[in-house]
Structures are given as structure tokens and as C-alpha cells.
Amino acid sequence: MAICEDCKQEMLTAEGCVYTHLVDSAGKLYPRSLKHWQDSGQRCHDCAAMYGKLHHCGCDVERCPKCGGQLISCDCDWKKLVVKMKR
């Protein structure tokens, strides 16, 4: 079992994370990106999210919506990692 620390879903069976936005230290809201998928039709190799769904937080594939770098290692100052928003 691999449980996402943020959305609390089982990553191997969930479609993807339910958190859709990030908030930076200035309070600006950024939508999480669906763009950076490597293999269409496949689950993510790191977090097991389905193709076209949001990566689970902490995934090494997800890109930062602010700088475009790897989200888990960029220098952007995220005050709140995730904010649940209605789609």
C-alpha cells in the first residue's frame, strides 16, 4: 500500500490527486499542471497517477507551475503545498 500523504488515497488504485492548486508565500494561487506526462495511457512511474490526472504530491515527475522545474526540488517558496478547489 502506498498512501498519498496529502489526499489520503491509495496511490496504486486512485486515478490521481484531488488537490488542484498550490499557494505561494505571497498568497498567489497556481493551478497544478497536467502537461508533463511521459507515456500517454500509462500510470506515472513514481506516484501511479493515471495519465491525464494530477500527480500525487511529492511525485518526482510533477513540474512546478511557477518556475517549470521539478516541483519537489525547486526553490519556489510554497506556503501551502496544496489547496483543494472545486473543478
What pLDDT does residue 52 have?
87
Please give the residue range of the domain that contains residue 34: 1-87
pLDDT tens per residue, range 20-77: 889 898 989 999 887 666 667 788 889 999 988 999 988 988 999 999 999 999 999 8
Q: How confident is the model at residue 3 (pLDDT cuts 50, 70, 90)?
A: very high
86, pLDDT greater than 90: no
- Alpha-carbon distances of 77 from 3, 17, 19, rounded to whole Å: 25, 21, 18
Domain count, the chain: 1
By CB neighbour count within 10 A (0-12 exposed, 13-18 middle, 19+ buried), where does 42 fall? Answer: exposed
1, pLDDT greater than 90: no
